[in-house]
Structure 1
């Protein structure tokens, strides 16, 4: 007996890549009829002619394979299927409207949400400048700030949880583009009366023997301080026995006589200005320094916008004690070295 293979689909179904789909015009016509229950009023509401609207609804019924409305000489009624599908059709049109609005926001630079990640040793000192810039120049930008350590920020950037990072570089991270902003020197913070306080010509090798206080593991500033000490000739046993989770705690430990520490220039006024038990010393040129930059995903859709933002931020930090785009070093007013004072070497 010969077997015959049948092909095709059940009557009333659409299969395959060429199956017909409702158009947005058909959905708009049907939703207008569902809202007004009158063809002439519905046509006027969406700016269509009445014949075109009636044809669009009929075409939608043909595509879906169900009757959506009952037409009489006096009024229009929704069928049971029409009542159910009108809810879905409204939801589709609302979603399309939201999609269009979002696309308009993306096309307009400096609008919508910008999720900015910032490291803790930058956030308290640079965010006031960032916020003034955003409020003054980009009022339609919804800036959302996340303060986290570098490793967490990079994970967030890679996963799409964050859009842009503000942190110390270089990162050496594949797929990340750095937009340098400025360089800032490190300053030695000492207890009051320390032999090195008020100096303007500190050689780096003073770091070889000093009891240096550091941030906890995970902070990039800790790693930077350790690198500076190694470059100054300090041995591998540089790690401090006392550490702190933040710079505010670190300088309080210094004020208490437990040691000295290194602060970036942007943090000095904020962290030492509150305590008269703290003093500072500045290194001779070239002083140890760090570079602060914005970082984005390489090839980010908003890359041009982020580059413009970096340029605006470079201009905005001009009043800070930093070096922007190859400007000459920012130094304290020149003064003769202070006489050495008696006191603990801490």
Structure 2
């Protein structure tokens, strides 16, 4: 049945007023419009709701049954719509965000602190997960949105790039390459490498860059966390290609990070399910994360 909310409200007004003219005045419609709406409703239902005389309107048995229930149903609908409308202006609530380890460590702390200052009634809950698990959490609706490295397959996701993060070479300070101001990718040929494993969103991009620049090198170790990679490089097991964002602000102590040329970078993105917009609260946190990322970019430019 193609019954409109307007038709139901018109019927309820007539049932209460027992008069088409008074019902029209109550809901700001002309008497012909009221009559037409009632006729359309009866046609859709396939039965008469009202008996009309020159003096009064009388509810049929079906009309009495509908009127008895309709008032409560429309009241509940009105309250539901008011509750949903209130979400647009809500200031308090919880927003769940998932991000991969490097981003959790180097970007998200500043975002959480900024949220606490600027949106004190929003609780930003961070889920620190490997990239594929972040994407799965977004797709399942477990989190409001994710912060990831450009995913290889994102047809079902809406993405926004918030940060370009270049790759750098990490070597011990006494290494032969440490004296260069920058290092060409081709100069990595023949060196043992310690890299992030394939659970990282960056590894695919690193492998593509090495292949594009003709670098053939032994991958001595593949690890899940940047700190472990740095310790392996300190121990002399190999040198590493890492995203610049993984380098702690205070530096690497016994290690040095050098620009790689030509510049190759990864894109840090915010992602949510396509065609399912985040809640108004989540959208505020989304904008906040974007702003913090841009501030970090400006500060390091």
Please say whether Structure 1 and Structure 2 have the same fold, judged by a TM-score greater than 0.5.
yes
> When you count helix as a share of all residues, which structure comes out higher?
2
1:283 paired to 2:264: no
| Contact kept in structure 2, 1:200 and 1:283, CA below 8 Å | no
Query: Equivalent residue for 1:58?
Result: none
User: Counterpart of 1:317 in 2: which secondary structure?
Assistant: helix
- Could you say if the C-alpha distance between residues 103 and 246 of structure 1 is closer, same or farther in structure 2, counting changes exceeding 3 Å? same
In 2, Cα distance between the equivalents of 1:248 and 1:209?
24
Q: Which residue of 2 aligns with 1:294?
A: 270
Superposed, 1:177-326 pairs within 5 Å as: 177-235=158-216, 238=217, 240-270=219-249, 273=251, 276-284=253-261, 286-302=262-278, 309-320=285-296, 322=297
Please say if residues 191 and 278 of structure 1, whose CA atoms lie closer than 8 Å, have aligned partners that are also in contact: yes
CA distance in 1, matches of 2:99, 2:71: 45
Q: CA RMSD in A?
A: 3.3
The alpha carbon displacement at 1:319 in A equals 4.6
**Structure (1 or 2) with the greater strand fraction:** 2
Query: Structure 1 residues 319 and 174 mapped into 2: Cα distance closer, same or farther (>3 Å)?
Result: closer
- Counterpart Cα distance in 1 of 2:118 and 2:190: 48
1-side partners of 2:265 and 2:280: how far apart?
A: 28
Deviations 1:20-59 (A, max 9, x none): 648659x9xxxxxxxxxxxxxxxxxxxxxxxxxxxxxxxx
Cα separation, 1, equivalents of 2:283 and 2:180: 39
Change (3 A) 1:23 1:303: closer
Retained in 1: the 8 A contact 2:194–2:222?
yes
* Structure 1, unpaired ranges of 5+: 1-13, 28-92, 331-346
- Relative to structure 1, the CA distance from residue 105 to residue 18 in structure 2 (aligned partners, 3 Å threshold; closer, same or farther) is closer
Deviation string for 1:61-98 (max 9, x for gaps)?
Answer: xxxxxxxxxxxxxxxxxxxxxxxxxxxxxxxx9xx98x
- SS of residue paired to 2:95: strand
SS at match of 1:136: helix
**Alignment gaps of 5+ in structure 2:** 1-61
Check the 8 A contact 2:99/2:147 in 1, yes or no: yes
Instruction: Please report the TM-score for the alignment, with normalisation by the length of structure 1.
Output: 0.59
Alpha-carbon distance between aligned partners in 2 of 1:202 and 1:141, rounded to the nearest angstrom = 44
Question: Which of 1 and 2 has greater Rg?
Answer: 1
* Cα distance, 1:177–1:305 mapped onto 2, change above 3 Å: farther
Contact 1:192–1:255 (8 Å) recurs in 2: no
